[in-house]
Structure 1
Amino acid sequence: MIVRSLEDVVGTERDVAGPGWKSRRLLLASDGLGFSMTDTIIEKDAVLELEYIHHLEACYCIQGRGQIRRFDEEKWYSLERFTLYALDQNDRHLVQALDADLRLICVFNPPLTGREVHRKDGSYAPVET
């Protein structure tokens, strides 16, 4: 059994940040569950262009308001508390926090190893086997 609080993660090597975001990695590949889970903040007014070409991701909004759209489409989808989005086709996408920070619980498959940061193309590096 794994029991870990957000307080256990903040300020450790599992607490990772980049321009416009921070990710507190609650579960990682080393935890052996086959997926990872993060508590992620997208900062107010940040617009992130991302494409996880090596990972599938699902995010559940628990705080704030934002929007998301596929990179190649014009339609924005609203993100608010208790809304999920899943990038089931490694979708290149834009995600934006609107009035305040946007807080998401994110699950990745394959799991993150821990120190990933977004590369120039918005992706994480492939998982080494």
Structure 2
Amino acid sequence: MKIVKLQDIIGTEREVHGEGWRSRRILLKKDKMGFSLHETIWPPGHELRMWYKNHLEAVYCVAGNGSIEDLETGEVHELYDGVCYALDKHDRHILRGGTEEMRLVCVFNPPVTGLEVHDEDGAYCLVEDDDD
């Protein structure tokens, strides 16, 4: 059994900062769960174009508000506490912060190692680590 406390992640290499957002990597590939689990904090008004072409992602909003735009269809979906979206087709999308900071719980498959950064497409490259 693994017990992970968010307070033990903040300020460590498992807290990753990007352009305006921060992600707390609760479970990673080396934890051998078959997925990775993150808490992402998204600031009001911030937007980022992404395309997880190498990963599937499910995201559950637990606080705040914003929206996600499906770049294939142009549909915009509102995000707020209690809404989940799943990028089940490696969907190209834009995540936008609303009027309040969003707190998102994210699951990636395959799991990330914690070393990934967004590339020019907004994707994470597949990173192999030494813990396989």
Q: Give the structure-1-normalised TM-score.
A: 0.96
Aligned partner of residue 69 in structure 1, secondary structure: strand
Distance in 2 (alpha carbons) for counterparts of 1:127 and 1:71: 26
Pair 1:87 & 2:87 matched: yes
Deviation string 1:45-92 (CA, Å, 9 cap, x unpaired) is: 101100000000000000001100112332210101010000000001
| Superposed structure 1 runs of 4+ greater than 4 Å apart | none
Deviation at 1:108, TM superposition (A): 0.2
Pair 1:60 & 2:60 matched: yes
Aligned partner of residue 39 in structure 2, secondary structure: strand
Amino acid at match of 2:36: S
Distance in 2 (alpha carbons) for counterparts of 1:115 and 1:79: 27
Deviation at 1:41, TM superposition (A): 0.9
Map 1:18-33 → 2, pairs under 5 A: 18-33=18-33
Distance in 2 (alpha carbons) for counterparts of 1:53 and 1:127: 13
Distance in 1 (alpha carbons) for counterparts of 2:115 and 2:86: 22
Deviation at 1:7, TM superposition (A): 0.4
Seq. identity, %: 46
Deviation at 1:44, TM superposition (A): 1.1
1:51/1:121 contact within 8 Å kept:
yes
Q: Give the structure-2-normalised TM-score.
A: 0.93
Amino acid at match of 2:2: I
Match for residue 39 of structure 1?
Answer: 39
Tell me the C-alpha RMSD between the 2 structures.
1.1
Match for residue 76 of structure 1?
Answer: 76
Deviation at 1:117, TM superposition (A): 1.6
Amino acid at match of 1:79: L
Identify which range, 29-38 or 71-80, moves more after superposition: 71-80
1:61/1:102 contact within 8 Å kept:
yes
1:14/1:25 contact within 8 Å kept:
yes
Distance in 2 (alpha carbons) for counterparts of 1:82 and 1:115: 29
Amino acid at match of 2:16: V
